[in-house]
């Protein structure tokens, strides 16, 4: 137990608040699955040492942002989802697209596509079995893909909306996060949240996205095999969880191209 605790992100670690926000999104997803409508749009964390304030958009906030984008004639849709299943966790990959819809709703143009990734534990923070791991992983991977497609101006507008609602008395619009909220048991999730969910703190290498697109652009099995062979050493240089996601993408494409 002591050895495990030594590997956890410290409460002073800059990734810690993002881990907490991710865990809180788990709770919001369960609320939706149980038929309750969560009203939390944003998470707010203030570093006690530096005084720095961090704002993150919740899963419900991303839904609000996609609705706002739709009012401007652009719709975000999930195109496909892949999962790599392991004993205690699963790796999810979701491809989403941003479509321009005409006023009549009869024509659409695909403007952009992005991948979202999520490493989801099958265990709860207390170490028990998590019955919602599949839904949480898939929904959060879709959330991460949507975040990469939604303009930052709209994300910021959702944060400002939450601030106004909070000031007007709706205290549920903003969830205050502090280091006593949860105790992390998966330090890799903290880094993942910084990399994938919060654009202003995005640290993830562009390589993974580039490699995903290079595979997705293959039109034949032969082209896919050649791309995989030619870039295999580059792929293997990625962290194992990212390589697993690339391999899952390759296997999915092989099935589609047969």
pLDDT digits (tens, 9 = 90+) for 106-127: 899 999 999 888 888 898 767 7
Whether residue 176 sits in one domain with residue 104: yes
What's the DSSP call for residue 183? -
Contacts of 214 (CB under 8 A, 6+ apart): 227, 231
Mean pLDDT, residues 225-253 taken together: 82
Contacts of 164 (CB under 8 A, 6+ apart): none
Whether residue 29 sits in one domain with residue 145: yes
Where does the pLDDT of residue 38 fall: very low under 50, low under 70, confident under 90, or very high at 90 and above? low
Q: How far apart are CA 88 and CA 61, in angstroms?
A: 29
Whether residue 150 sits in one domain with residue 65: yes
- Among 180, 203, 226, residue at a domain's last position: 203
Q: How far apart are CA 18 and CA 26, in angstroms?
A: 13
Whether residue 229 sits in one domain with residue 134: no
Rounded to two decimals, the pTM is 0.64
Whether residue 197 sits in one domain with residue 106: yes
Whether residue 185 sits in one domain with residue 154: yes
Whether residue 35 sits in one domain with residue 64: yes
Whether residue 143 sits in one domain with residue 233: no
Count of Cβ atoms closer than 10 Å to residue 25 Cβ: 27
Q: Please give the pLDDT value at position 80.
A: 92
Tokens in use for 68? 């706002």
Q: How far apart are CA 248 and CA 100, in angstroms?
A: 29
Find where tokens 């998966």 sit: 186
| pLDDT for residue 50 is more than 90 | no
Tokens in use for 230? 């030619």
- Among 187, 203, 219, residue at a domain's last position: 203
Where does the pLDDT of residue 70 fall: very low under 50, low under 70, confident under 90, or very high at 90 and above? very high
Best CA proximity match to 133, nearest among 125, 124, 142: 124
Beta pairing, strands 89-101 & 74-85: antiparallel
Whether residue 236 sits in one domain with residue 170: no
Q: Please give the pLDDT value at position 216.
A: 80
Whether residue 140 sits in one domain with residue 64: yes
The domain in which residue 77 lies consists of 2-203
Whether residue 153 sits in one domain with residue 229: no
Q: Is 13 helix (H, G, I), strand (E, B) or coil?
A: coil
Count CA atoms within 13 Å of residue 137 on its CB side. Answer: 25
Helices (H), ranges, the chain: 2-6, 16-33, 59-71, 133-149, 152-167, 187-196, 206-216, 221-230, 232-236, 240-257
Q: Please give the pLDDT value at position 184.
A: 41
| pLDDT for residue 2 is more than 50 | no
Mean of all residue pLDDT scores within the chain: 77
Which residues are paired to 42 by β-bridges?
57, 174
Whether residue 121 sits in one domain with residue 240: no
Distance of CA 165 to the CA centre of its chain: 25
In the chain, how many domains are there? Answer: 2
Tokens in use for 105? 């709703």
- Among 203, 219, 243, residue at a domain's last position: 203
- Least confident range of 27-31, 75-79, 100-104, 227-231: 27-31
Count of Cβ atoms closer than 10 Å to residue 54 Cβ: 17
């Amino acid at each position: 137990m002591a050895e495990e605790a030594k590997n956890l992100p410290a409460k002073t670690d800059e990734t810690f608040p993002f881990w907490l926000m991710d865990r809180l999104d788990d709770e919001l997803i369960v609320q939706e699955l149980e038929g309750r409508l969560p009203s939390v749009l944003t998470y707010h964390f203030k570093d006690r040492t530096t005084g720095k304030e961090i704002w993150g958009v919740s899963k419900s906030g991303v839904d609000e942002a996609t609705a706002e984008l739709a009012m401007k004639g652009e719709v975000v849709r999930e195109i496909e989802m892949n999962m790599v299943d392991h004993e205690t966790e699963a790796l999810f990959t979701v491809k989403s697209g941003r479509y321009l819809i005409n006023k009549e709703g009869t024509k659409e143009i695909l403007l952009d596509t992005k991948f979202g990734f999520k490493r989801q534990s099958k265990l709860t923070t207390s170490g028990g079995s998590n019955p919602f791991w599949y839904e949480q992983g898939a929904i959060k991977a879709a959330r991460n893909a949507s975040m990469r497609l939604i303009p930052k101006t709209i994300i910021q507008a959702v944060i400002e909306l939450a601030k106004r609602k909070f000031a007007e008395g709706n205290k549920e619009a903003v969830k205050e996060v502090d280091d006593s909220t949860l105790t992390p048991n998966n330090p890799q999730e903290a880094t993942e949240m910084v990399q994938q969910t919060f654009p202003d703190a995005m640290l993830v290498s562009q390589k993974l996205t580039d490699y995903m697109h290079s595979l997705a652009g293959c039109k034949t099995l032969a082209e896919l095999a050649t791309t995989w062979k030619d870039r295999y050493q580059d792929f293997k240089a990625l962290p194992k969880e990212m390589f697993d996601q690339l391999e899952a993408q390759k296997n999915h494409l092989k099935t589609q191209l047969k």
